[in-house]
Amino acid sequence: MNLRLPFLKHATTFARGIHPAPHKGTLDQPIKRMPFPRKLVLPLAQHIGKPALPLVGIGEEVARGQIIARAEGTLSSPIHAPADGVIEAITPMPVSRGQWSDAIVLRVYEASTQEVRCGQPQDVAAMDHAQLIAAIQEIGMVGLGGATFPSHAKLNVPADKQVHTLIANGCECEPYLTCDYKLMREWPQELIAGIRIAMRASGATRAIIGIEDNKLDALDAIRPHLPEDGSITMRAVATKYPQGAERMLIKSLLDLDLPPGSLPSQLGLVMHNVGTLALLGRLLPAGQGLIERVVTLAGPGIKKPGDYWIPFGATLRSVLEWAGDPDCIEREVILGGPMMGQAAFSLDIPVTKGTSGILVFDKRMLEPITQQSWACIHCGACVNACPMGLNPSQLGMLSAKLEFDEMSEQFHLGDCFECGCCSYVCPSHIPLVQQFRAAKAFLRERKPL
């Protein structure tokens, strides 16, 4: 029986958006594992909220899975050691987005194995709500889709709000990235276990797994594990960028409009990425901390493209020494997908909880595209592409005149979530999204504290 057609027939979507070439050449391979590098750099702020507080000192030996920094308060998350080794330093190190952050530097023992030597299995079903939320925080779980919001805080719905539906976001609409797809295909049982945990923690009575209709293998892998009571269902949504954005997926699945600046809980919803839920379903019952994640390695500058379990703290340099193409000398390294990811300013930046992909391009190939732009020809392509219904052309012209206040007050710059659709379609190659990021940064800086 062909169970695919009903999903395809009802694939729903949102207004506007784009169809970039998928470049998902890593789709067919199973997840593999990168060996431990000699050194791991573990930033204390790998999440939204207060940085973790170190519990170890220089020269101290640690075991794989051991908690080495504790959460500081409610909106914070602990850090666990990804390998056996000795603490070498606690010092500022470069992290993504051009920043530096205090980090624990761990020298990995050559004999360190993949065995996790800390953490005890725990009876999740016997936990009350407060214990469940505390246990989710204890394992260091954060949103692995890139947002890195602590999962326990997201699932702990405020008393004045009520959540009825959990949305498991399996869209992975960014070109190149396949790490979520692999977890849906290889860990469907863990995904369903994680969804059940997240439903209990948030109070949701039903869950919908939203998957783009170019990932039918994932639907097939999950289907046998769905509960018979219908509390967890799957829905295919159209393959379109940025289908995985919170607002767009809510529109596609439920035909609801989330007002800009509001949280899904306002509509009785909570959304989690499928990778986060699969890891939650695996680690929480085992009582083990989050110490590694699946990262997509792709692009012309990667010799071994694929999806790999990579320990947190592995620097880009160590990843590229192992998997990079040595002939690609002038590298442009992107952390995340090509649409919303960030160019890495240093190869000393480590893989952290929010690193979904490492894409490597040859700068010489990119230069003809990125170096030259022309005047706006008022073609309207950016307006037709913007999923937020903004006028990127007008915003771009105001940005060129440094009229940031007008961008914000008259043309809703704050609603732009930097998806990059406008830049992608612009025939004049105007770096619109970069201009919008700069304008927002200026307005943020100027705000009185």
Query: What is the contact surface with ligand SF4 in residues (CB under 6 A)?
Result: 376-382, 385-386, 388, 390, 392-393, 396, 416-422, 425-428, 430, 432-433, 436
Nearest approach in angstroms of CB 414 to ligand SF4 is 10
| Angstrom distances, CA of residue 156 to CA of 130, 138, 209, 388 | 9, 14, 20, 28
Our CB check for ligand SF4 shows the closer of 241 and 308 to be: 241
Nearest approach in angstroms of CB 173 to ligand SF4 is 13
Our CB check for ligand SF4 shows the closer of 156 and 423 to be: 423
CA distance 88 to 408: 46
Nearest approach in angstroms of CB 375 to ligand SF4 is 8
Closest among 118, 119, 141 to 62, alpha carbons compared: 118
Our CB check for ligand SF4 shows the closer of 222 and 390 to be: 390
Burial of 248 per CB tally in 10 Å (0-12, 13-18, 19+): buried
Nearest approach in angstroms of CB 20 to ligand SF4 is 13
- Taking the CB of residue 11, how many other CB atoms lie within 10 A of it? 17
Our CB check for ligand SF4 shows the closer of 145 and 396 to be: 396
Our CB check for ligand SF4 shows the closer of 201 and 422 to be: 422
Nearest approach in angstroms of CB 105 to ligand SF4 is 36
Cis peptide bond upstream of 242, omega within 30? yes
Nearest approach in angstroms of CB 428 to ligand SF4 is 4
Our CB check for ligand SF4 shows the closer of 111 and 375 to be: 375
CA distance 244 to 20: 14
Nearest approach in angstroms of CB 174 to ligand SF4 is 13
Nearest approach in angstroms of CB 382 to ligand SF4 is 3
Our CB check for ligand SF4 shows the closer of 361 and 436 to be: 436
Tokens read off for 117: 């030597």
Our CB check for ligand SF4 shows the closer of 70 and 412 to be: 412
Nearest approach in angstroms of CB 273 to ligand SF4 is 20
Our CB check for ligand SF4 shows the closer of 101 and 384 to be: 384
Our CB check for ligand SF4 shows the closer of 215 and 240 to be: 240
CA distance 72 to 229: 40
Nearest approach in angstroms of CB 41 to ligand SF4 is 31
